[in-house]
Chains A and B, each alone.
Chain A
Amino acid sequence: METEIETKIKQTELIKKEDKASEPLPIKGHILDDKLEKESELAGVLCKGVQYYDFRNIPFISNTGLASLIKILKASLKQGIKLKFVNVNKRIKQKIQTMGLDKFINCS
């Protein structure tokens, strides 16, 4: 759809690339914040069956953003891939916890 944002995943400095870079998981809808929306980019990499996403530059997550994370979670589960969000700030972690998503959204 015209309004969808296809988020590309790029290799981060943080995570050593061991696996072949995965095909990007599509993230639809506006996620996280406007900065990301403009750049249409969320850093991430597939490493030993775990898909990492780097939240280093993400200061805030909206509820729509959380819904998008659930979508990513579903997509990764479908592909048998584990999901991990790294460099997640305190505020976002707290929000994930408050919304009861901490049990299945793995972040550090």
Chain B
Amino acid sequence: MNKEFYFSKYEDRIPYKPIPDNKYRTLLFQFCGILTIALGFSYLNWRWKFSFNYDVLWFSLLLVTAETLSFISTILIVVNFWSNKDAEINEPVHYLSEIEELQGRSDRPLKIDVFIATYNEEVELVRLSIIDAKKILYPYPDVYVNVYVLDDGRRDGRNPASENMKKVAEEEGVKYLIREHNEGYKAGNLKNALEHTNGDLFAILDADTRAFQNFLVNTTGYFRRNKVAWVQTPQWFYDTTEAEKMSDIINTKFKIKNINVKKTIEFVFGKIKVNEDIYGNDPRLFYDAILRKRNFHNAAFCCGAASIHRREAIMSLAVKDFSEEIKKLEEDLVSQNKSKIEIQEKTNQLILDQEVIPFKFHASEDIYTSIMLHADKENRWESIQHPDIECKMLSTQDLSSWIKQHQRYAEGSLDIALKDNPLFKNGLSLGQKICYFNTIWSYFAPLWILIFLVCPIIFFFTLKLPVKAYSFDFFKYFIPFQVMNTLTITLGCWGISTKRGDQYYISSFWFMLMSLLSVIRGKKIEFNVTRKDLHTSNSLKHVLPHITIIALIVLGIIYNAFLILIGHHPTPSGFAANAFWCIFNIISLSIMIRAAFWKPIKTQNSI
């Protein structure tokens, strides 16, 4: 129990406070957002009508298509960020009647379950989550808060070679649930838990999710609104890498021992800090801006860990899905003019085969289940993104794990887009459709990012511009749109650093592209449990596309600079514009290269 983990040194980190709402800032954002969209239309209108370089029409079309697709993102973001509507925080619930109509039942104190889902995580790490879950406070002593470890790894002592999770659960005095298969992965694990428990509300924690004491006190009050199906709290990764002094990195890298040289390096580079959150894990932008602002559209989706659910809502979805599947089959059989006996036989068989599944068995079970609940026309379930941090979690500690995790998100969301697109989903409001589509659309971004990265390289080696000229007309349309766009995004993400997020948005293009192709090819999505321990992996293979693009940019710049020097460059202004754009691209791409080669400092006894 006294094991020292790599994250032990971060235990005292304090979570950020949510950005306070400000109606004037929201109004200004709305004004700027409308202006950005208007200017964007005006710019693209000019681009499509008057800016083509007909000598290289394919090149012009390529770039303008990418710009248009990217502009769709801008519109979606403006809608997503349109307003902030934090739900009113109520007192924690005491009795069942406060969250549900009793309909003839007698009233009783609420029952709450806390699920800690685990698969292969180290048991001592899970123990930390159990200990914190046991410390969760609730103001009413007659409200039972039961903690369950849901061990999909079946580490109940049957295999002496593996760790014993059951023993840890017993030592900590919490309940332990397993099943004999892994069907449906985490969603299946939760299904099993729901079949064996009876909480009116249940919280989902991952193996590494450490709940704060007021987790339930601050969140159960939302369920007084009897249409609230779930409350998601922000996932806060408290182990993101610390900023390192540039001078320390230089001294270590070049093994400098001379004190005078060290002093000089300290003087020049001492104030420069780099590598803070090198893997871009900090999800604040997502939780404090993107998801939180979806409260306005009732479109904040569940992200699994650190969420609380109303059992009745999730079970209503499960039962409805079951009956709809049977109904669908019956209708199919009737339309095929099958005999009554055959219909009955096949229906009975389906009843036997079909399961009652609360959380969709899908790689993105959280978002998919959220879509289905939001689309429930009879119940009109509501979701809430709670602004304050109520739990702390661990982040991925190497690039390979980061890529696997984000590819699973991407493939899951894209799969939903292809099979059950929320844009065409009956029951969702327009705002919900746009917000869900925004999430899905963001995974198509590699298409236009790749074009933006490649276009300057095409220019450097063909010396052809994708526009007629970088003339006054071009800048007249382009600059106001870009300035207003930047201002709008700044207002939308007010108070939150977007630097790392922007860099990873660009530099993850390759993996997102691979995910897109994988889903289009119909490849089965694998559910990988994200590694949260400290380890190193060979990441060079992941950044070869990045290195290639940067190398081509550098070569192109040298080649063009040489042409300018000898006076043979046809468009020096084009070179200047593209070179400027490339600086931005290189900075963005380089983050992943740095992350690939970054090595954490190993401490004694760390895992």
Chain A residues in contact with chain B, CB under 8 A? 1-4, 28-30, 33-35, 37, 59-60, 62-64, 66-67, 70-71, 73-74, 77-78, 91, 98-101, 103-104
Across the interface, A77 reaches (CB within 8 A) one of B106, B319, B352, B378, namely B352
12 residue pairs bridging A and B, Cβ less than 8 Å apart: A1-B196, A3-B175, A4-B196, A59-B104, A64-B198, A77-B352, A78-B352, A91-B103, A99-B323, A101-B319, A101-B323, A104-B351
Among A29, A33, A99, contact of B195 (Cβ-Cβ < 8 Å): A29
Query: CB within 8 A of B323: which of A2, A28, A34, A100?
Result: A100
CB distance from A75 to the nearest CB of B (A): 10
Tell me if B105 and A60 are in contact (CB < 8 A). Answer: yes
Q: Residue B194 at the A interface, CB < 8 A?
A: yes
- Binary CB contact string for chain B from 307 to 348 against chain A (1 if under 8 A, 0 otherwise): 000011001101110111011001000000000000000011
User: Does B108 touch A at the CB level, under 8 Å?
Assistant: yes
**Contact status B105-A67, CB under 8 Å:** no
Is B571 at the interface (CB under 8 A from chain A)? no
The answer to whether A63 and B312 touch across the interface, beta carbons within 8 angstroms, is yes
B103, B348, B378: the one within 8 Å of A59 (CB): B103
- B356 at the A interface (CB under 8 A): yes
Q: With A70-B319, A74-B352, A104-B347 in contact, is A91–B104 under 8 Å at CB? A: yes
CB distance from B345 to the nearest CB of A (A): 11
CB–CB B351/A74 < 8 A: yes
For B104, give its contact among A60, A67, A73, A98 (CB under 8 Å). A60
Interface assignment of B177: CB less than 8 Å from any CB of chain A = yes
Residue of A nearest to B113 (CB): A3
How close is A23's CB to chain B, nearest CB, in angstroms? 19
* Residues in chain A near residue B356, CB distance under 8 A: 67, 70-71
In the complex, what's the smallest C-beta–C-beta distance from A52 to chain B, in angstroms?
19
Contacts of B108 in A (CB 8 A): 34
B196 touches A98 (CB 8 A): no
B497 at interface by CB-CB < 8 Å: no
The chain A residue sitting closest to B378, CB to CB, is A98
Given the known interface contacts A29-B196, A77-B351, the answer about A62 and B312 at a Cβ–Cβ threshold of 8 Å is: yes
CB distance from B201 to the nearest CB of A (A): 13
Say whether B318 contacts A63, CB under 8 Å: yes
The residue from B103, B326, B351, B378 contacting A60, defined by CB atoms under 8 A apart: B103
B interface list, Cβ under 8 A from A: 102-106, 108, 175, 177, 194-198, 311-312, 315-316, 318-320, 322-324, 326-327, 330, 347-348, 351-352, 356, 378
A67 touches B348 (CB 8 A): no
**Contact call B198/A30, Cβ cutoff below 8 A:** yes
Question: Which residue from chain A places its CB closest to the CB of B177 in the assembled complex?
Answer: A1
Query: In the complex, which of the residues B175, B198, B326, B378 contacts A29, with contact meaning CB atoms closer than 8 Å?
Result: B198
Task: Say yes or no: B316 contacts A99, CB within 8 Å.
Answer: yes
In the complex, what distance in Å separates the CA atom of A104 from the CA atom of B108? 32
Residues of B within 8 A of A98 (CB): 378
Residues of A with C-beta under 8 A to B104: 59-60, 91
CB <8 Å contact, B315 and A3? no
CB distance from B152 to the nearest CB of A (A): 15
Q: How far is the CA of A98 from the CA of B324 in the complex (A)?
A: 11
A6, B324: Cα distance in complex, Å: 29
Q: Which residue of A lies closest to B344 (CB)?
A: A104
Partner of A64, one of B105, B177, B315, B352: B315
Contact B352 A34 (CB under 8 A): no
- The answer to whether B105 and A104 touch across the interface, beta carbons within 8 angstroms, is no
> What separation, in Å, do the CA atoms of A108 and B324 have in the docked complex?
22
Do the beta carbons of A99 and B319 come within 8 Å of each other? Answer: yes
Given contacts A4-B196, A77-B352, A78-B352, contact A104 B326 (CB under 8 A): yes
Alpha-carbon distance A59/B196, docked complex (angstroms)? 23
Cβ-closest chain A residue relative to B347:
A104
Distance from B389 Cβ to chain A, minimum over Cβ atoms (Å): 31
Residues of B within 8 A of A73 (CB): 351
> Are A103 and B326 in touch, CB under 8 angstroms?
yes
Contacts of A1 in B (CB 8 A): 177, 196
Does the CB pair A67–B318 fall under 8 Å? yes
Question: Once bound together, how far apart are the Cα atoms of A66 and B351, in whole Å?
Answer: 14
Q: Which of B196, B315, B347 contacts A63 (CB 8 A)?
A: B315
- Whether the pair A35, B196 counts as a contact (CB closer than 8 A) is no
Known pairs A74-B352, A103-B327; A28 contacts B196 (CB<8 A): yes
Q: CA A29 – CA B191 in complex, angstroms?
A: 12
Q: Which residue of A lies closest to B322 (CB)?
A: A70
B106:A67 contact, CB within 8 angstroms = no
Q: How far is the CB of A25 from chain B (nearest CB, A)?
A: 14
A100 to B198, CA, bound (A): 24
Q: Is A63 a contact of B316 with CB atoms below 8 Å? A: yes
Q: How far is the CA of A89 from the CA of B330 in the complex (A)?
A: 27
**Contact: A35 with B106, CB < 8 Å?**
yes
With A and B bound together, what is the CA distance between A103 and B108 in angstroms?
33
Bound: A71/B286 CA distance, A = 40
CB neighbours of A67 from chain B (8 A): 195, 315, 318-319, 356
Q: CB-nearest residue of chain A relative to B111?
A: A30
CA distance in complex: A54, B311 (Å): 25
- Alpha-carbon gap, A74 to B108, bound state (A): 31
A3 touches B316 (CB 8 A): no
Q: How far is the CB of A64 from chain B (nearest CB, A)?
A: 5
With known contacts A1-B177, A2-B175, A30-B198, A62–B315 Cβ distance under 8 A: yes
With CB as the reference atom, state the residue of chain A lying closest to B313.
Answer: A63
Apart from A62-B311, A62-B312, A63-B315, what are 18 other A-B pairs with CB-CB below 8 Å?
Answer: A2-B175, A3-B175, A4-B196, A29-B195, A29-B196, A30-B197, A33-B105, A37-B198, A59-B104, A63-B318, A67-B318, A77-B348, A77-B352, A91-B104, A99-B316, A99-B320, A100-B323, A103-B330
- Note all chain A residues with C-beta closer than 8 A to B319: 63, 66-67, 70, 99, 101
Write out the residue numbers on chain B whose beta carbons fall within 8 Å of the beta carbon of A30.
Answer: 197-198
Residue of chain B at shortest CB distance from A78: B352
Which residues of chain B are near A29, meaning CB under 8 Å? 194-198
CA A2 – CA B176 in complex, angstroms? Answer: 9
A residues in contact with B322, CB < 8 Å: 70
Q: From residue B469, how far is it (CB to closest CB) to chain A in Å?
A: 64
Complex: chain A residue closest to B108, CB-CB: A34
- Across the two chains, which residue of chain A brings its CB closest to B146? A3
Whole-angstrom distance between the Cβ of B585 and the nearest chain A Cβ: 52
